[in-house]
Chains A and B, each alone.
Chain A
Amino acid sequence: MSGGSRVNRIRAIAQKEVFHILRDPQILVFALGMPVALILLFGYAVSFDVEHIPLAVVDQDHSSESRALVAAFTAQDLFELVAERETAEAVEPLLRRNVARAALIIPQGYSRDVHRGETATAQLLLDGADNMSASIALGYANSIALAQSLGRARVQLGGFEMPVEARVRTLFNPRLESSVVLVPGLMVIVLVLVAVMLTALTVAREYERGSMEQLFATPVGRLEIILGKLAPYFALGLVQVLLVLVTGVVLFDVPVNGSLALLFLIASVFLLAMLMQGLVISVVTRNQMIASQVAAISTLLPAMLLSGFVFPVDNMPPVLQGIAHVLPAKYFVDGLRGVLLRGNGLDVVWLDLLAMGAFFAVMLVVATKRFQRRVA
């Protein structure tokens, strides 16, 4: 077997796969339209900032002090007044029916307590079903109350400066835009969708239709089939990386602080690992429906949940953390954010590259082994 003919055979298999893709333009539409659609959705729709919390107010004190407190709550964009009621009982249905997420209850005697210099208590009823919004709302409410207290202390003491102040500054993403963080994370989902999902189905399809036997009857070797099948999807994946990157930079001002070459190196290693995993799924299941579900569970789910893309890995129970540290998704998001946002070089991201490379190697071995045994 000469080297030249091996390259030719791989090219032939790759060409066959390219024909498959081109004959079915829906795949191309999907592969290139999906990234753009997702990036627009994530960029515009997904925001973790909690603002405009619908607030119901029960003011039983009817004093200038109680009105000042209500005004302080609604002055910023944090709370939005949606209803006023006379009793605490009347606001509970509002919470249950999602009309309000929080209710401020100022009891009678609030202004009296303020004038006496005693602690004046207002109640905040929170819809804890949405625990994140609830704890953020409580944080806002506490700081509003604190500002009211300090304002009065300031009057009493004739003005003062806060003795200890924390000056905070954000590095790498100074305006704290979630889109800047989500776009690199999004790349993992886009690549997984196409790389694993499509390869998992494409090889399973050959088994289902019986054309895999025909392929094996040709003089093409196993490794050649694998490489030829994966090459077009690898190229498609790189086009997607470019597409997501350009859209992110143009529409959402995602900074590119590190080197582009390193970025594409990280993306390539991740792509290879994912393509190989897709192939393993395909070879093992040999059924498109099962392959798609297995791929969804073993790649799409980890990409969305165990990659640190949205949910911090550090908070997870040890078992899940262990899984997250084996799969490549976490390393990809880590490395990508490092290069894009923090401007990290190879000295920082080499570990991510190594981890993804190791996963690829294991998958390659499994794929070639299983390929042989099942067909022979």
Chain B
Amino acid sequence: MKLKRPTALAAVMLKEIRQTARDKRVLAVLLVAPVFQLIVLGYAVNLDVNHVPTVVADEDRTAESRALVAGLVAGDTFDLSEQVERASDALAEVAAGRAAVAVVVPHGYARDRAAGRPVQIQGLTDGSDSNRAIVSQNALMAYATQRSLGDVRAQLARVSAARGVAVTLGGTVVEPRVFYNPTLTSSHYFVPGVAATLLLIVTIIVTAMGLAREKEVGTLEQVLVTPIQPLTLVLGKTIPYGVIGLMDLALVVTAAMVLFDVPLRGDLPTLFTGGALYLLSVLGIGLFVSAVAKTQQQAFMVAMLFVMPAILLSGFITPIANMPEWLQPLTAFNPVRHFVEVMRAVMLKGASFGDLLPQLAALAGMGLSIFGLAVLKLSRKLA
């Protein structure tokens, strides 16, 4: 199939742009909504666990136990929500959802420590939020270890004095050096991924629903009786949305940098090459959807059927390395995964075109084949 009349293509594109621009609300959906969503998402996506509501049952009620509790809630992790008398009361607080952690300091805590006997403090966490439970458990154990180390040092000092030689810990210390995101800010990690998924949602729904709308309203037949070739029609209806997608990319990257201080360490050409190749896949899938869907409702649902798994399997929220072994290779066929990697690597790590060659090649391969097949299928169907 060959494109015979370039002017016809321009005419279809112009019609599509006019139609889109005429309805201010559609334009708002295409250009304002992504930025708005980025802002909400950027502030919401934060997996840090801080200020866990903690109920404490101090059964010992001594100066030592109070010091232990005070030290525990002094940091950012635990917030004292209530102090109760007995362990059972603390448990009830957690069961009612008023506290996420119950800490019980047993009776005899001060006495046992003074006598050099090991003591156990109890931590009960609410497993209905597993992430928070894990983090608070680790924090509680780390706090106990930290308290213990003080005792170990004191013991070592006593042994040194008794033996007359210095016995020291000779401790191994790990000194961290964090690359790319030294403050470990959540938004720096999530926002580039959010941008990739927003681009997906906006463009795929518009392309999928656009043609279905013409079918529904009946204007598709009218266009098909004109001398315009199906190929011209498909390309003319898609190219403007590709351009809008690239504009959206520019907007969300700017918003990420201005609002969330996400750095841009790499170069823009690499980022936009990745973006353009990614949009080819996304628009192609949108076209496939519009080829099968008869109504806008169907188009929307089928698009969602692709969007939800694609986002989940992109490594945007949870790392791909944590997925089951059999599932991991399948994510190689997910364009969203590759573009999320490109966005993160270019913005945070300053990766160059050469560094990202595997991802870009995958995006190009998928983009060209999906888009090509979709255009062919749809033009055949319309012809």
Query: In the bound complex, what is the Cα–Cα distance between A315 and B293 (angstroms)?
Result: 41
In the complex the two chains form, is A205's CB within 8 Å of B144's CB? no
Partner of A167, one of B40, B123, B308, B341: B123
Residue in B closest to A343 when the chains form the complex, CB atoms = B95
- Contact B189 A348, beta carbon cutoff 8 Å: no
Please judge, given known A-B contacts A122-B175, A128-B181, whether A166 and B141 are in contact too, CB under 8 Å.
yes
Collect the chain B residues with CB atoms within 8 Å of residue A30's CB: 301-302, 304-305
B131 contacts the other chain (Cβ, under 8 Å)?
Answer: yes
Is the CB–CB distance between B96 and A320 below 8 Å?
no
Given A117-B166, A126-B179, A176 and B300 touching (CB < 8 A)? no
Contact of A132 among B43, B47, B148, B180 (CB under 8 A): B47
Residue numbers in A under 8 Å from B294 (CB-CB): 24
- Identify which of A46, A48, A202 gathers the most chain B CB atoms within 10 Å of its CB: A48
**Bound complex: CA of A40 vs CA of B170, how far in Å?**
49
Among B29, B113, B116, B120, the residue within 8 A (CB) of A166 is B120
Asked whether A119 lies within 8 Å of B304 as measured between CB atoms, the reply is no
Contact assessment for A125 and B179 in the assembled complex, using a CB-CB cutoff below 8 Å? yes
A54, A170, A320: which has the most chain B beta carbons within 10 Å? A170
The reply to whether A156 and B167 contact each other, CB–CB distance below 8 Å, is: yes
Contact B323 A177 (CB under 8 A): no
- The smallest C-beta distance from B208 to any residue of chain A, in angstroms, reads 10
Type the 1/0 row for A75-95, where 1 means its CB is closer than 8 Å to any CB of B: 000000000000000001101
* A118-B170 CB under 8 A given contacts A162-B145, A312-B129: yes
Output the least CB separation between B190 and chain A (Å): 9
Judging by beta carbons under 8 Å apart, are B46 and A316 in contact? yes
Q: Mark B277-302, 1 if CB is under 8 A from A, else 0.
A: 00000000000000001111110111
Q: For chain A residues 238-294, which have a beta carbon within 8 Å of chain B?
A: 285, 287-290, 292-294
Q: Select the stretch in B2-10, B236-244, B310-318, B367-375 that faces chain A.
A: B310-318
Let me know if A120 and B182 touch, CB within 8 A.
Answer: no
Residues of A within 8 A of B350 (CB): 96
B156 and A157 form a contact (CB under 8 A): yes
Contact B178 A45 (CB under 8 A): no
CB distance from B140 to the nearest CB of A (A): 5
Interface magnitude class on chain A: 35 or more
B295 touches A205 (CB 8 A): yes
Are A145 and B172 CB-contacts (below 8 A) given A27-B298, A127-B180, A168-B140?
yes
A145 to chain B, nearest CB (A): 4
B123→A305 contact, CB < 8 A:
no
Taking CB atoms, residues of chain A closer than 8 Å to B293 are 26
Interface size of B as a range: 35 or more
The residue of chain A having its C-beta at the shortest distance from the C-beta of B212 within the complex is: A288
The 0/1 profile, CB within 8 Å of B marked 1, for residues 122-157 of chain A is: 111111111111110011011111101110110011
Provide the bound-state CA to CA distance between A312 and B48, in Å.
Answer: 8
Is A117 touching B169 in the complex (CB atoms < 8 A)? yes
Q: For B50, what are the chain A residues with a Cβ–Cβ distance below 8 Å?
A: 314-315
Complex interface bits, A187-212 against B, C-beta within 8 A gives 1, otherwise 0:
00000010001100110010011000
List A contacts of B129 (CB < 8 A).
Answer: 181, 308, 312, 337
Cross-chain contact of A149 among B94, B125, B141, B170 (Cβ < 8 A): B170
A51 at the interface (CB under 8 A from B): yes
> Nearest chain-A residue to B46 (Cβ)?
A315
With known contacts A26-B302, A119-B171, A125–B205 Cβ distance under 8 A? no
Report Cα–Cα, A166/B105, bound state, in Å. Answer: 10
* CB within 8 Å for A142 and B29 given contacts A46-B318, A118-B168: no
Pairwise interchain contact A173-B175, C-beta atoms closer than 8 A? no
Tell whether A320 pairs with B179 under 8 Å between CB atoms, given A122-B172, A160-B155, A202-B297. no
CB-based A-B contact count at 8 angstroms: 384
CB-nearest residue of chain A to B201: A296
Please judge, given known A-B contacts A134-B184, A163-B113, A315-B48, whether A305 and B41 are in contact too, CB under 8 Å: yes
Question: How far does the alpha carbon of A148 sit from the alpha carbon of B33 in the complex, in Å?
Answer: 52
B196 contacts the other chain (CB 8 A): no
**Cβ-closest chain B residue relative to A347:** B96
A124 CB contact (under 8 Å) in B142, B176, B183, B301: B176
Contacts of B44 in A (CB 8 A): 305-306, 311, 316, 320
Give the residue among B37, B44, B137, B177 with the most A Cβ atoms within 10 A. B44
Q: Does A52 touch B at the CB level, under 8 Å?
A: yes
Complex CA gap A229/B67 in Å reads: 62
B159 touches A156 (CB 8 A): yes
Instruction: Determine if A120 and B130 form an interchain contact, defined as CB atoms under 8 angstroms apart.
Output: no
Contact of B130 (CB < 8 Å), options: A166, A177, A287: A177
Task: Report if B126 contacts A (CB, 8 A).
Answer: yes
State whether A126 and B176 are in contact (beta carbons under 8 Å apart), knowing that A47-B323, A167-B121 are contacts in the complex.
Answer: yes
The smallest beta-carbon distance between A38 and chain B, in angstroms, is 6
Query: Contact: A193 with B304, CB < 8 Å?
Result: yes
Contact for A139 among B123, B138, B209, CB less than 8 A? B138
Contact A172/B126 with A149-B172, A289-B29 known, Cβ cut-off 8 Å: yes
Alpha-carbon distance between A53 and B320 when the two chains are bound, in angstroms: 11
Q: Which residues of A contact B45 (CB under 8 A)?
A: 305, 311
Complex CA distance for A139 and B184, rounded to whole angstroms: 13
Q: Measured between C-beta atoms, what is the minimum distance from B54 to chain A in Å?
A: 13
A289 touches B147 (CB 8 A): no
Whether A124 lies near B177 (C-beta < 8 A) is yes
How far apart sit A343 and B127, CA to CA, in the bound complex (Å)? 13
Q: Which residue of B lies closest to A174 (CB)?
A: B127
Given the complex, which residues of A lie within 8 Å of B201, measured CB to CB? 296
Query: Hey, what's the 0/1 contact readout for B183-213 against A, CB within 8 Å counting as 1?
Result: 1111011000000000001100110011001
A30 to B305, CA, bound (A): 8
* Across-interface contacts of A42 in B (CB, < 8 A): 312
Q: Is the CB of B97 within 8 A of A334?
A: yes
Q: Which residues of B contact A52 (CB under 8 A)?
A: 321-322
Asked if B226 is at the interface of the complex by the 8 Å CB criterion, the answer is no
- CB < 8 Å neighbour of A128 from B179, B213, B295: B179
Q: For B36, what are the chain A residues with a Cβ–Cβ distance below 8 Å?
A: 297
User: In the complex, which residues 40-82 of chain B have their Cβ closer than 8 Å to any Cβ of chain A?
Assistant: 40-41, 43-51
Chain B residues 68 to 119 lying within 8 A of chain A, measured CB to CB, are 91, 94-97, 113, 116, 118-119
Rounded to whole angstroms, the CA-CA distance of A163 and B64 in the bound complex is 14
In contact, B26 and A289 (Cβ under 8 angstroms): yes
- A-B contact sample (7 more), CB < 8 A, given A118-B168, A128-B178, A134-B178: A34-B308, A48-B322, A130-B319, A181-B130, A197-B301, A305-B40, A341-B128
16 example contacts (A-B, Cβ-Cβ < 8 A) are as follows A45-B324, A45-B327, A123-B175, A123-B176, A128-B178, A128-B184, A129-B179, A152-B169, A166-B123, A169-B123, A178-B130, A289-B26, A290-B26, A290-B29, A312-B131, A316-B44
Q: Closest 6 interchain pairs by CB?
A: A173-B127, A128-B181, A149-B171, A117-B168, A166-B144, A163-B151
